[in-house]
Chains A and B, each alone.
Chain A
Amino acid sequence: MSPLTLESRPAWQWWLASCLLVAPLLIAIGDHYPFSPFPMYSKFDSSADILYVTDQNDKPLALSSLFGVGSAQAKKRFERELLDVAKTRDYEKADAAAVTTASTRFLNGLWKDRKSKKTNALGVNTLRLHMITVSLSEDSAFQRQDSLLGEISVTPDPQPE
C-alpha cells in the first residue's frame, strides 16, 4: 500500500482543511506572534488618530530616520504607555495628568532610540508629541483637530572634539 501523502488527497480536502481548520483556528488564537487572523481594517471607525513629533520650532521630525519607528508604530507605543498609566488606549478618555505622564514616558523612550548623529545635526533640544484626530461628520465632511499631548526637554549628545 502506498503511503498516503498530503498531496495525494483530493484538492477539495485542501480548502476544507484550510477553511474549516486553520482559518477559524487563527481567529481563535488571535493576535499572538507569529499567529494572527489579520484584523486590520476589520471595522471602520468614523474617526482616527495620527501621531507626530516635532522639535522646539514645531517642525515635524522624521520618525523613521531619526528614531527607527514609523508614526503608526509610534502611536501603538504611546497607546501602550497610556494603557499602562490610565488603563485606556484612548487619550481623549484619559485624564490630563495621565496623558502627560504617558507622553513623557513615550518621548523619553523615543529619545533613547535616537540616531544621535542626525538629531545632533538638527539641533533638537525639545520633543513635542502631537495627535491629529480626523473624523467624518454626518454630512460626510472631514474635520481635523490637532492636540499637543506633551513635551520634554532633551540634551543633545556631546560633540566629539
Chain B
Amino acid sequence: MKKILEFLRPGDFAWGSRELLVMRLGIAGLVFMGIHWGLTPFEPKHDNLNGFAKIVPLTWMLQPGVMVVLKILTTVGLGLFVIGIAPVITLVPPLFTFCGLGALRNSKGDGTHTTQVLAMALLAVWIAYIVGAIRKAGWKSPTLPQHRNAMIAALLMIAASYVSSGIIKLKATKGRWIHDVPNMAVQMIKSNLSDYYSKPQGEIPTAMTETAPKFITQNPNVARVVFGTGLLLELAAFTLMLGRRWAFLTGTALVLMHAGISLLMDIEFWNHMGLLCLLCIMPGCVDVFKKLSNSGMKTRLGTPH
C-alpha cells in the first residue's frame, strides 16, 4: 500500500531534451497533417464567420498561390520549431495557417472538433515561449526549462479541454448525462450511417447500426457504467498535470477511451490520441524502458555467485 501511495505521489515532469525533441517533432507532424490544405475558395456570409475568421479577414488564404506560400512558410516554421530556433517567431506561420484555415472551415459549415485540441495546444506552446522570452530567458534559442514549460502548457490545455467537455455534459443535461446514456444508441446509428454515406460501399454494416445500438437499449445499465466511466475520466483529466506517472496512467486511460469510442461511433481522434501518446505515454514508456534496462544491468553485474 505504501509503495502504491509513493508511486502515485504527484511529481514533476522532468522531460529530458530528447523527449522534448520527440514531442516537438510529433506535434509538428500532427500540425502539418491537421491543417485543412484542401479547403476550396468560398464567400462566407458575415453571420456564418466563426472564431478567428470573425476577427481577421481570412478568405485571401484560400487562393491557390497563397496556399503554396503558406505551405512553404508553415513547413519552414515547423522545422525550425522542432530544432528549437526562435519558436516565438517560427511558430507564427504554422499557428496562423492552422487557426486561419480551421476557422474558415468552420465558417463554411464543415466544422469538426478534431483539430481544435491541437490548435489550442499549439497556441498554448507559443504563449509559453512568449512568456519565457518576456522573462528575458531568451527567445532565439530557448533553454530546456523553456521547452519544458511549453510542453506543460500544451498538456494543461489538453487537460482543461477534457475537463470542460465533462463539465459541459453535466451542465447540458442538468447532471443527468449518465442517466440519459441509453439514448446514445441513436447517436451511434447516426455516426455509423454518416460514415457509411460518406463513402458508401456494399451493404450498410449492421453490427454498429443495429446490433450494438439494440444491446445498449436492452442493457441500459451496462451502457451507463461503460460510458459513465468515460465521463468520470474526462472530469478527472486534471490528473494529467500531477507529474509524469499520473500523466502516463491518465493518458493511457484516455487513449483507451478514445479507441473504444472510435470503434463504436466511427469517429476519429488522431489528434487527441497523438498528443496523449507524445506528452504522456512516450515519457512513461521511457521510464519503463529505463527501469527494465537498469534491472537488466543489475542482474548482469549482480551479486557474485
A residues in contact (CB < 8 Å) with B: 3, 5-7, 10-12, 14-15, 17-19, 21-27, 31-52, 60-65, 68-81, 84, 109, 112-113, 132, 134-136, 140, 142
Contact = CB atoms under 8 A, between A and B. Distances in A.
B181 interface: yes
Given A17-B156, A134-B189, A136-B217, A27 B239 contact: no
Contact of A76 (B110, B182, B214): B110
A42 B199 contact: no
B242 A14 contact: yes
18 contacts: A6-B128, A6-B153, A11-B11, A15-B238, A17-B156, A34-B103, A35-B116, A41-B184, A44-B184, A48-B186, A64-B198, A71-B198, A84-B45, A109-B42, A112-B40, A140-B182, A140-B218, A142-B186
Interface in B46-88: 47-48, 50-54
Interface stretch (B163-171, B277-285, B287-295): B163-171
Contact of B164 (A14, A24, A69): A24
A143 to B, nearest CB: 10
Interface of B: 10-13, 38, 40, 42, 45, 47-48, 50-54, 98-99, 102-103, 106, 108-113, 116-117, 119-120, 123, 128, 131, 135, 137, 145, 148-149, 152-153, 156-157, 159-165, 167-169, 171-173, 177, 180-187, 189-191, 193-195, 197-201, 210, 213-214, 217-218, 238-239, 241-243
Contacts of A23: 160-161, 163-164, 167
A70 B120 contact: no
A108 B23 CA distance: 43
Nearest to B149: A6
B145 A7 contact: yes
Nearest to B55: A32
Contact of B194 (A25, A50, A112, A113): A50
B168 A37 contact: yes
| Chain B interface SS verdict (over half) | helix
A81 B111 CA distance: 14
A136 B197 contact: no
A60 B197 CA distance: 7
Contacts of A24: 164, 167
A18 B163 contact: yes
A136 B183 contact: yes
Given A18-B159, A52-B197, 9 more contacts: A15-B238, A18-B238, A21-B160, A34-B120, A62-B198, A62-B200, A76-B109, A140-B218, A142-B189
